[in-house]
Amino acid sequence: MRLGDWLALKKIKREECASDLSVDTATVGRWVRGESVPQPAKMVRIVAYTQGQVTANDFMVQPEGECTVNADPEGSSTVPVEGRAA
């Protein structure tokens, strides 16, 4: 289950989640929008906070047909996955 879905299901605001996990509200927003992935220590806290309903794998889901790779030293790029529509 995605973090944003879990927060909605439990009716927990991002501000409360951020406070409980000792991070900025903006950080929770980036996680929910898929703009960043939590560091391992925070990931452990998220799994515990959600009683295992949100796991590290839930942050790795990409839009169908796309895969994020480190294609160049400047950052990551999104490229089509072979066999899927772009």
23 occurs within a structural domain: yes
The CATH number of residue 24's host domain is 1.10.260
Q: Which domain holds residue 13?
A: 3-80
Q: What is the pLDDT along the chain (86 residues), one digit of tens a residue?
A: 999 999 999 999 999 999 999 999 999 999 999 999 999 999 999 999 999 999 999 988 655 555 555 444 554 444 455 555 54
86 occurs within a structural domain: no
Distance separating alpha carbons of residues 30 and 42, to the nearest angstrom: 13
Distance separating alpha carbons of residues 5 and 1, to the nearest angstrom: 7
